[in-house]
Copies of this chain bind each other. A is one copy, B any other.
Amino acid sequence: MKRIPLALAAAAALSIGAAHAQSAPVFNANISEAEVAAAQSGWCNALVSISTTFANDGREAATALAGRILDDAYGYNLGPVLFKPTLTVAPQTFRTTREGALAYFVGGNPNFPQDDGFALRGWTGCEVRNAAIHINGDVAKTMGNVTLTNKDGSKTTVDKTWAFKKTDDGKLRIVLHHSSLPFQPN
Contacts and interface: CB of A to CB of B under 8 A. Distances in A.
Interface of A: 1-2, 4-8, 10-14, 16-21, 24-30, 33, 37, 40-41, 44, 77-84, 86-91, 93-94, 96, 107, 114, 116-117, 120, 126-139, 141-145, 147, 154-159, 161, 163, 165, 167-168, 175-176, 178, 180-186
A55 to B, nearest CB: 13
B183 A1 contact: no
A37 B1 CA distance: 33
**Which of A86, A155, A182 has the largest number of chain B CB atoms within 10 A?**
A182
Given A25-B132, A26-B132, A82-B143, 14 more contacts: A1-B107, A4-B186, A8-B154, A10-B157, A11-B155, A11-B157, A12-B155, A24-B129, A77-B168, A84-B180, A93-B131, A93-B159, A139-B139, A167-B168
